[in-house]
Amino acid sequence: MDLKLDHRTEDRLTIVEVEGEIDVYTAPRLRELLIDLVNKGNFHLLVNMEKVDFLDSTGLGVLVGGLKRVRAHDGSLELVCTQERILKIFRITGLTKVFGIYASVDEAKEAHGRDK
Amino acid sequence: MATVELTFSALPAHVRTARLVATAIARRTGVAEALLDEVRLAVGEACSRAVEAHRVHCPGEPIRIELRDDSGRFEVTVTDSAPNDDLQSPGTANGLVSVEASADSMFGIVPEMPGLGIAVIAGLADDVEVSPGPTGVRIRMSWPAATPNGVPAH
């Protein structure tokens, strides 16, 4: 399955909807989107990965790259993910300590609101 | 004896094909359903790393993947042809290095986090061997599979 990307802004939070496979072939598109969003002043990103079927280290690298970019503007990049097979790769690489990972968009929005 | 061998051009789009083939053969070989995601991810990581290495050093050369069903295990070997000067370091005299030792020196498929792909493979397969050499890197990994009579091997 190819990669589908969409995004919307709610309050100060930009929600990036990702669907499909994030791998060495498709990850550049996600990288371009994150860079574009940051360049346009969106520094608080929430990446919804609930419809992601596959994620590899290329995708992890793109997310880490995005995190570095938003942090340079005192921003944030957090994730929504409950799929065990996706969470596993975050655990293997220790990135569960780097990203805020939430069970739903609403839960993430609530946490983001508290932090504002 | 290899049950399936395939070669593919060093294009990112072909990595997905390699993943699908490896997963299909793993299933047919009798690898447990719970392990198929690990096979898919580990094979994808190895092929992604090889594709990136070839794109830098030898884009015209194909990447080879062998899928074997030997002694109750499903074994996958991904071999690239990209020279890697960094691998001529202490600890590689016998052509083998530990995954931990090799991870930092491998070509990273992720510019932000070099070596992450190898680290992921090490976390997924319980049997991994990374064999760097002057003419390329071979990554061999295996998982338990069903024996010929259908009983899962341990």
Residues of B in contact with A54 (CB under 8 A): 19, 40-41, 44
CA B126/CA B42 separation, integer angstroms:
11
| Token output for A114 | 């508290």
Tally of domains in chain A:
1
Q: What confidence score (pLDDT) does residue B96 get?
A: 38
Listed residue (B135, B134, B109) closest to B121, CA to CA: B109
Domain that holds residue A40: 4-111
Residue A47, domain member (yes or no): yes
Question: Interface of chain A against chain B, CB under 8 Å?
Answer: 21, 23-25, 54, 56-58, 60-62, 64-65, 68, 85, 89, 92-93
CA A35/CA A33 separation, integer angstroms:
5
Homologous superfamily of domain range B2-144: Histidine kinase-like ATPase, C-terminal domain (3.30.565.10)
The reply to whether residue B112 touches residue A92, judged by beta carbons under 8 angstroms, is no
Q: What confidence score (pLDDT) does residue B109 get?
A: 41
Listed residue (B41, B1, B49) closest to B22, CA to CA: B41
CB proximity list for A50: less than 8 A, separation 6 or greater: A80, A81, A82, A83
For chain B, domain boundaries: 2-144
- Please report which confidence band the pLDDT of residue B151 belongs to, taking 50, 70 and 90 as the band edges: low
Answer with the residue of higher pLDDT: B124 or A70: A70
Answer with the residue of higher pLDDT: B116 or B138: B138
Task: List pLDDT tens digits, range B13-48.
Answer: 999 999 999 999 999 999 999 999 999 999 999 999
> pLDDT at residue B102 above 50?
no
Task: List pLDDT tens digits, range B50-101.
Answer: 999 999 999 999 999 999 998 789 999 999 999 865 544 433 333 333 443 3
Q: What confidence score (pLDDT) does residue B130 get?
A: 93
Give the burial class of A36: count Cβ atoms within 10 A of its Cβ; 0-12 exposed, 13-18 middle, 19 or more buried. Answer: exposed
CB atoms inside a 10 Å sphere around CB B59: 12
The reply to whether residue A54 touches residue B40, judged by beta carbons under 8 angstroms, is yes
Q: Tell me the mean pLDDT in the region B114-129.
A: 86
CA B110/CA B80 separation, integer angstroms:
17
Helix (H) or strand (E) holding B8: strand B2-8
Determine the number of helices (DSSP H) and then strands (DSSP E) in chain B: 4, 5
Listed residue (B11, B32, B22, B61) closest to B141, CA to CA: B22
Q: Which residue is closest to B124 within chain A, CA to CA?
A: A92
Give the burial class of B48: count Cβ atoms within 10 A of its Cβ; 0-12 exposed, 13-18 middle, 19 or more buried. Answer: buried
Q: What confidence score (pLDDT) does residue B59 get?
A: 94
Q: How many CB pairs under 8 A join A and B?
A: 69
The reply to whether residue A92 touches residue B123, judged by beta carbons under 8 angstroms, is yes
Percent of chain B whose pLDDT exceeds 90:
60
Residue A28 sits in a domain whose CATH number is 3.30.750.24
Strand partners, B149: none
The reply to whether residue B15 touches residue A65, judged by beta carbons under 8 angstroms, is no
The reply to whether residue B111 touches residue A61, judged by beta carbons under 8 angstroms, is yes
ipTM greater than cut 0.90: no
Residue A116, domain member (yes or no): no
Q: What confidence score (pLDDT) does residue B133 get?
A: 85
Min CA distance, A56 vs chain B (Å)? 7
Strand order across the beta sheet in which A44-55 lies: A4-10, A13-22, A44-55, A76-80, A101-102
CB proximity list for B24: less than 8 A, separation 6 or greater: none
Mean pLDDT of chain A: 94
Q: What confidence score (pLDDT) does residue B112 get?
A: 55
Q: How far lies B92's CA from each of A98, B98, B112, B122, B134, in Å?
A: 33, 9, 26, 18, 11
Residues of A in contact with B52 (CB under 8 A): 24
DSSP per-residue letters across B100-137: HHHHTTSPPSSTTSTTHHHHHHHHH-SEEEEEEETTEE
